[in-house]
Amino acid sequence: MKIGIPREIKPKEGRVALLPRHVTALAAAGHEVLVEKGAGILAGAPDDGYIQAGARVLPSARDLFDHAVMLVKVKEILPPEYGLLRSDHILFTNIHASLNREQLDRLLEVGVTAFSAENTHPFGSPNCPLAGEVGALEAIRLCLAPHGGTGRHFMGHFGEAPIKALVLGLGNVGRGALRVLLGLGAEVVALDIFEGARKAALLDWHDRNLTVDDISALPRHLPEADVLINCVLWPKERTDHLVTRPMLGKMKPGAAVVDISCDTAGAIETSRPTSWEEPVYVVDGVRHFCVDNIPGAVPVTASAGYGAAILPRVTAIADRGVVQACREDPWLARGLTCAAGELILAEAGRFQKRPFTPVEDWLARQG
């Protein structure tokens, strides 16, 4: 199969879907790998590295889309790429279809077979820990006085307590945030709905300044926080919020919100995705940092993790085709979003209130 790796065009996105080390494995399996010129530069992978790995470098996105059958990306398809899509394309990337109707409409209109990479990992995206770690660094930065913060240091000195960070959610993202915050000496209150997650965090960081509590204790802890860090992936069909707009008024002067999950009006009612070019906005006097591609700030590391995670599934599709690969891998099937103009991803269908075919039914029809 001809597998294409385009250059990401989202602002400040330096990741690339596959590095030369991953290309070597695909080429050894007999697949032809095409890479857009400069696609891996910011991830530490120059064009020569891809050529040495057995890939062919093409000069433009149009050349790559024209020649490739399978397109492997990191971020969603953006409007400048819409016109490059064909009905025989197989797309594997983070689509986030539920919240991007325009993109999904285009995929259905063209008839692309598309996989939402974010739905194909049993333990969440491999870049989730990086998002938590980098997001925690941004939270610390926003606590500094020159950035409008409370002016408290991230560790205790001279009888003054360190910053107090309130972390919502103890999955891979939240635990990444804890590694940075506790490692630097901050005081952390971590909330989660699951008792097991709370106990595991206390066991791992028993010697640090960590308090855990049930998520129901959020209103009690919120007024004390220098920064609130949200790591909860909020179900898209929910219309309620963990942090409502009136609750912002309970936060201390200079406190900030870092929403790593950054679901639009999700766990935090006032959240909306931002970019690295304009990462912060203010609502009711509270600064919100809601960059939706945080791992793009560390593209060398993030590309290595993402490529290693998706390589087995990209290989399976290329080796055995879409139908057989989905039959053999339930998690890959879980990410199948659309095919030949038919919506398959249940989450998107339910959220957008449009007809969809459950993946099991779609596979049963394929003979």
* Residues 291 and 184 both lie in one domain: yes
* Residues 200 and 306 both lie in one domain: no
Provide the token pair at 276. Answer: 């690295």
* Residues 343 and 207 both lie in one domain: no
Give the pLDDT of residue 121: 82
What pairs with residue 287 in β-bridges? 256, 282
Mean pLDDT of the chain: 96
* Residues 190 and 305 both lie in one domain: no
Q: Is-catalytic flag, 263?
A: yes
pLDDT tens per residue, range 216-263: 999 999 999 999 999 998 888 889 999 999 999 999 999 999 999 988
Question: Is the pLDDT at 23 greater than 80, yes or no?
Answer: yes
Q: Which of the residue ranges 47-61, 83-97, 228-242, 282-296 would you say has the lowest mean pLDDT? A: 228-242
The mean pLDDT of 12-16, rounded to a whole number, is: 95
pLDDT tens per residue, range 279-315: 999 999 999 999 999 999 999 999 999 999 999 999 9
pLDDT tens per residue, range 107-146: 999 999 999 999 988 766 788 999 999 999 999 999 999 9
Q: Are 302 and 19 in contact (CB under 8 A)?
A: no
Give the pLDDT of residue 367: 78
Give the pLDDT of residue 123: 67
Last residue of a domain, one of 297, 318, 343: 297
3-state DSSP assignment of residue 202: helix
Contacts of 136 (CB under 8 A, 6+ apart): 165, 176, 177, 178, 179, 180, 181, 229, 258
Percent of the chain with pLDDT over 90: 93
Catalytic residue selected from 192, 259, 263, 292 = 263
* Residues 236 and 317 both lie in one domain: no
The mean pLDDT of 86-100, rounded to a whole number, is: 95
Q: Which of 326, 117, 135 is nearest to 231 (CA)?
A: 135
Please give the backbone phi and psi of residue 165, each rounded to the nearest 5 degrees, phi first: -105, 135
* Residues 142 and 268 both lie in one domain: yes
* Residues 135 and 279 both lie in one domain: yes
Question: Is the pLDDT at 79 greater than 90, yes or no?
Answer: yes
When divided into structural domains, the chain yields a total of: 2
Q: Are 77 and 306 in contact (CB under 8 A)?
A: no
Question: Is the pLDDT at 320 greater than 70, yes or no?
Answer: yes
* Residues 237 and 214 both lie in one domain: yes
Percent of the chain with pLDDT over 70: 99
CATH number of the CATH domain containing 38: 3.40.50.720
Question: Is the pLDDT at 82 greater than 80, yes or no?
Answer: yes
Give the pLDDT of residue 257: 98
* Residues 112 and 132 both lie in one domain: no
* Residues 37 and 49 both lie in one domain: yes
Give the pLDDT of residue 122: 75
Q: Are 142 and 227 in contact (CB under 8 A)?
A: yes
* Residues 162 and 275 both lie in one domain: yes
* Residues 308 and 200 both lie in one domain: no
Last residue of a domain, one of 297, 328, 343: 297
| Range(s) of the domain holding residue 158 | 128-297
Catalytic residue selected from 22, 96, 121, 288 = 96
The mean pLDDT of 261-269, rounded to a whole number, is: 92
Last residue of a domain, one of 278, 297, 316: 297
Q: Is-catalytic flag, 259?
A: no
The mean pLDDT of 32-52, rounded to a whole number, is: 98
pLDDT tens per residue, range 169-207: 999 999 999 999 999 999 999 999 999 999 999 999 999
